[in-house]
Chain A
Amino acid sequence: MKITVKLFAYLRAGRFKISSMDLPEDCTVQEVLEMLAISRKEMEIGIIMINGKRASFNSILKGNDTLAIFPPVAGG
C-alpha cells in the first residue's frame, strides 16, 4: 500500500518534506519511523497525525493515508 509522509521542522534535515512510501499492509507509525531512521531522541515526537487526526506510535496505517510528524520544537 502507498501512503504519504510529511515531516516538519528538523525532522526534514537529511530526509524530506513530503514523500510517498510503499509499505506492507498493517504497518504502524512506529515502523515507519524506524524505516525513516528517526532516532530515539527525535522520536520524542511532538504530534503525530493521520489524515489530520491525532494518532500515536501504535496507530495502524491504511492505503492512501497521509501521515504527518511534528517534532516538539522548544527553543526560544
Chain B
Amino acid sequence: MKKKLLELLNDSKYSLSFSITDELSIAGKTGYTLNQVEDTALERGIVPLRYQRNMGAINIYEQRKLLHSRVGVIGCGGLGGFVIEELARLGIGEISAWDYDYFQEHNLNRQLMSEFRLIGHSKIEAVSRRVRRINPGIEFNGMYREFNEKEDKELLNKMQVIVDALDSVQARLELSRACRNYGIPMVHGAVNTWYGQVSTQFPGEDVIEQIYAGKEKYRLDERSVLVFTASLVASLQAAEVLKIILNRGNLLRQKIMLVDMLSMDMEIIDIPKND
C-alpha cells in the first residue's frame, strides 16, 4: 500500500501544486487517510496547497511537526471558537475540544462558530463541522461535556499543549492542576469587555494559581465581551501554541500580557514564581 502511495506521490506535477482534490484522489486509491497522505507528501518535500502560504513563516519540517501535533482546547465559546479555527488553518494534526454548552442568541455578538440557524445546537457539533470544512486533513475529537481530568486521562496522556478557553475561575484552577499532573503546557486566555489577558504556564509554574487561587467563587456581574477582544486574545493564544510546538520564539512564561483595546495598549508584566 505504501509503495502505491509513494508511486502516486512521485508525479512531478505535485511538487508544483498538490491540491486537496489530489490528496483525496490518492487517499481513495490507497486507503490511506488524508493525514497520512499529507505526512508522506511533506516528508518528500511536497507541500499541500492549503499550507503553501504557511511556508516562509514556518518551513516544511515545521509544517510536518504541526501535522504530528495534538492540541486540546477547553471551551468552544468566544475564545475557543477562534482558537480552533486558527489551529485548524495552521494545520495542527489532531485537535480535541470540550464544551457541554449549546448556542444561544446572545452568543452571536462574538462567537465565531455561532449562527442563527445553530441556536439550540451544541457548540461541539458546530465546531466539528467547521473544522472538517476548513481542513479535512485534521483529526477532530469533540467532547459534548465538561472537561474532566479523570475521564479524559487517555486524551491527556497524548496532549502536547492545552488551551484554556474557559469562562470560570474554578474550572481554570482545575485545568491548571490537570496540566501540571500530566506535564502539559497550558496557554491561558481570558476576556472581559475591552480587556483581555494571555499567559503560558509550563508544568511547575504557577501564574494561574497566582491570579486565581482563592477566588473560585468569583463571578463578575458584567459579562460583556466584544468580538475583537475575543478574537485578539484567541490569536495570541494560537501563536503561543504554535511556538510551543515548534520550540521557537518567545513565550509568555511567568508573564502575563494584558491587552486594553479601549486605550489600545498591550503590556507584559513579569509574574515571578511564588516560592
Q: Which residues of A contact B (CB under 8 A)?
A: 8-10, 12-13, 17, 41, 44, 46-47, 49, 52-54, 68, 70, 72-76
Contacts and interface: CB of A to CB of B under 8 A. Distances in A.
B272 A74 contact: no
A41 B192 contact: no
Contact of A9 (B164, B165, B210, B260): B260
B211 interface: yes
B108 to A, nearest CB: 16
Most buried by A among B191, B193, B220: B220
Contacts of A49: 269
Nearest to B225: A75
Nearest to A9: B195
B218 A10 contact: no
Interface string B238-275: 00000000000000000010101011010101111010
**Chain B: interface secondary structure?**
mixed
B260 A44 contact: no
Given A10-B220, A13-B193, 5 more contacts: A8-B260, A10-B222, A12-B262, A74-B172, A76-B191
A47 B260 contact: no
Contact of A76 (B75, B195, B220): B75
Contact of A74 (B192, B263, B271): B192
B86 interface: no
B191 A41 contact: no
B59 interface: no
A76 B212 CA distance: 15
Interface string B76-103: 0111100000000000000000000000
A71 to B, nearest CB: 8
A10 to B, nearest CB: 6
Given A9-B258, A75-B167, A47 B210 contact: yes
A70 B267 CA distance: 12
Contacts of B222: 10
B192 A54 contact: no
A66 to B, nearest CB: 12
A70 B257 CA distance: 12
B22 to A, nearest CB: 39
Contact of B189 (A12, A54, A76): A76
A74 B140 CA distance: 27
A34 to B, nearest CB: 20
Interface string B208-240: 001110010011111101000000000000000
Contacts of B169: 72, 74
B168 interface: yes
B272 A73 contact: no
Contact of A52 (B77, B197, B256, B270): B270
